[in-house]
Amino acid sequence: METLYRSTRETASHTMTSSQAVLQGLTPDGGLFVPVELPRADFDFDQLATMSYQEVAYEVLKLFFTDYTPAELHACIDAAYGDQFDDPAIAPVKKHGEPYYLELFHGPTIAFKDLALQILPHLMTTAAKKNQLTSEVVILTATSGDTGKAAMAGFADVPQTKIIVFYPKDGVSAIQKQQMITQAGANTYVVAINGNFDEAQTKVKELLNDPDLHAQLAANQFQFSSANSINIGRLFPQVAYYVYAYAQLIKQGQIHNGDEVNFSVPTGNFGDILAGYYAKQLGTPIQKLVCASNRNNVLTDFFNTGTYNKNREFFLTSSPSMDILVSSNLERLVFYLTGSDPVATAKLMSDLKSTGHYTLTPTMRAMVKDFWAGFVTENQDQKAIQHVYKAHHYTIDPHTAVATAVATQYREATKDKRPMVIVSTASPYKFPQAVLRAITGHPVDVDGLAAVDQLHDLIQTPIPATVENLRQATVKHDQVTDPATMGTTIKTILKLR
Ligand SMILES: *Cc1c(COP(=O)(O)O)cnc(C)c1O
């Protein structure tokens, strides 16, 4: 059955194929693409348990990307999940203490976004060929630290593409910043902005939908797309690791086929956890998706009160990739909660835009039972890193620690004894200063590579090659701009006439 895509904000009269939706990124009306009908999967988990990551990914992707041929999908998967990952399992599942850790940081930028952004460029260039696109695709991305680098690692020197990344100047870790400003590739552009992630993301969304800019791009043989997690070419590849993790637990003899498990997900833009929601809809036996937040706990309040309110103080935390007040992908969940009603969805999203908040109806609230939400303070986050290290000699990064600590809250609050999988989104070497501080229990005055070396002396696990390479890397990008002038910056970069 063909899976077609529609907007969350418009009646389903306009549909697109998966490859067209990948190229477009965002729908013309500012909504997000969702499948017109959810694909039907009948996963045989005993069989999936015998499969490699790549094979499982194929079983998942073929449900969502139905206008790609099997050969095209296999080629995309093979190119994406190869030896750029430093673990042949791609997404290994490991037990440390009670929970299981689904390690999603073995790719080229040591954060989970590689799982999606290694494949997106291949899905996109294949889509460009399929749709006889002659213009060059310009990827416009706002990043809270990890997306930008992972997107550039995926798109660097990919023919017929350019990628422009905006990051909050003071909102990313030293290693994240170093990774971005040293990015190679003749088609990559990195710009710091004097503002936070939400400002960057809001502006990027606005520019992606600016008709004048579109016309100017078209006249210059360019077309915009997005590598943010709103793109279905990023969202749906993430479904694969939930399915894979479940199958691996069977393979390891930890569960029997059919047993329910929970996942705890460190959440920012709601892309990762939404992929888990799709995995559940496709029949993966998931009981709860635990939505774990840091002090920017807008989602905790949303799930616990039914009101989403972004009018609140914004905090910079040691888990910067979750420092977000407007979670883009939540719109897709809201769409499902309205019973797939585009008019109701558009109304709530326009309330959000004009007033900064919206409230679910009681009927909608009753449908959020698949989720449980909690948040941690900086101190609790540090304690979780320290505890896991001391008790199990396993080092987790500050994002994974948020999920770990909230998983503990969940267990204490509900007494649910089902196996818990912590979605582990970054390597501790990406945030060495915060991890060192947590483990040693005192302030650390070094950062960047010096902190990496100190952390290595302490925990002794190998430093990932991508971090080692930063020692020799030269700075290639030093541009800074204000959110208001991002449009002009883009025009200058693309030399638009
Ligand atoms: C992006 C990111 C997250 C949040 O993922 P979302 O899909 O935005 O919810 C969590 N942890 C790390 C390390 C990330 O890079």
CATH assignment at residue 420? 3.40.50.1100
Whether the CB of 269 sits within 6 Å of ligand 1: yes
Q: Does ligand 1 lie within 6 Å of residue 149's CB atom? A: no
In a domain, 176, yes or no: no
- Centre of ligand 1 to C-alpha 131, Å, is 31
From ligand 1's centre to the CA of 402, what distance in Å? 11
Q: Is 321 in the pocket of ligand 1 (CB under 6 A)?
A: yes
pLDDT averaged over 10-residue windows placed end to end, the chain, 497 residues: 94 89 88 95 97 98 98 97 96 97 96 96 94 92 86 92 94 87 95 92 89 94 86 97 98 98 96 98 98 98 97 93 91 97 96 96 93 98 98 98 98 98 97 96 92 97 94 93 96 93
* Pocket mutation for ligand 1, best pick of 272, 327, 431 (most atoms within 8 Å of C-beta): 272
Domain that holds residue 290: 93-110+235-459
Euclidean distance between the first and the last CA atom of the chain, given in angstroms as a whole number: 44
Using the atom order of ligand 1, give the atom closest to the CA of residue 266. Answer: 10
Beta carbons within 8 Å of 51's beta carbon, 6+ residues apart = 59, 247
Is the shortest distance between the CB of 272 and ligand 1 below 6 Å? Answer: yes
d(CA 264, CA 242): 11
C-beta of 146 in contact with ligand 1 (< 6 A): yes
168 occurs within a structural domain: no
The alpha carbon of residue 32 and the mean position of all alpha carbons in its chain are separated, in whole angstroms, by: 15
Q: Say yes or no: CB of residue 348 within 6 Å of ligand 1.
A: no
To the nearest 10°, report the CA torsion of 53, 59, 61, 64.
Answer: -160
In a domain, 145, yes or no: no
- What's the Cα-to-Cα distance from 365 to each of 334, 337, 353, rounded to whole Å? 10, 8, 21
The answer to whether residue 43 is domain-embedded is no
On whether residue 124 sits in a domain, the answer given is: no
> What digits encode the pLDDT tens for the residues 82-127?
999 999 999 999 999 999 999 999 999 999 999 999 999 999 999 9
Question: Probe ligand 1: pick from 165, 399, 406, max atoms within 8 Å of CB?
Answer: 399
Nearest alpha carbon to residue 268 among 293, 290, 242, 305: 293
Query: If you measure from the C-alpha of residue 272 to the centroid of ligand 1, how many angstroms do you get, rounded to a whole number?
Result: 7
- Could you tell me the distance, in angstroms and rounded to a whole number, from the CA of residue 219 to the centre of ligand 1? 36
Counting from 1 in the atom list of ligand 1, the atom nearest the Cα of 145 is 15
Q: What is the pLDDT of residue 167?
A: 94
Number of domains forming the structure of the chain: 1
Closest Cα to atom 8 of ligand 1:
269
For ligand 1, say whether the CB of 268 is within 6 Å of any of its atoms.
Answer: yes
pLDDT of residue 228: 78
Instruction: Evaluate: CB of 426 within 6 angstroms of ligand 1.
Output: yes
pLDDT given at position 205:
85
Q: How far is the CA of 235 from the centre of ligand 1 (A)?
A: 12
Q: Which two tokens stand for residue 353?
A: 């835009």
Distance 133 CA to ligand 1 centre (A): 31
Query: Is there a domain that residue 403 lies in?
Result: yes
Predicted confidence at residue 229, as pLDDT, reads 79
109 Cβ inside 6 Å of ligand 1? no
Question: How far is 431 from 336, CA to CA, in rounded Å?
Answer: 35
Residue 255 confidence (pLDDT): 98
Q: Quote the pLDDT of residue 24.
A: 87
Residue 198 has what pLDDT? 84
pLDDT digits (tens, 9 = 90+) for 256-297: 999 999 999 999 999 999 999 999 999 999 999 999 999 999
Q: Do the Cβ atoms of 37 and 3 come closer than 8 Å?
A: yes
Query: Which residues sit opposite 192 in a β-bridge?
Result: 167, 480
Asked, for residue 311, whether it belongs to a domain, the answer is yes
3 state SS of 76: helix
What's the confidence (pLDDT) of residue 429? 96
Nearest Cα residue to atom 1 of ligand 1: 321
Ligand 1 mutation target, pool 267, 322, 431, most atoms within 8 A of CB = 322
φ, ψ of residue 370 to 5 degrees: the values are -70, -15
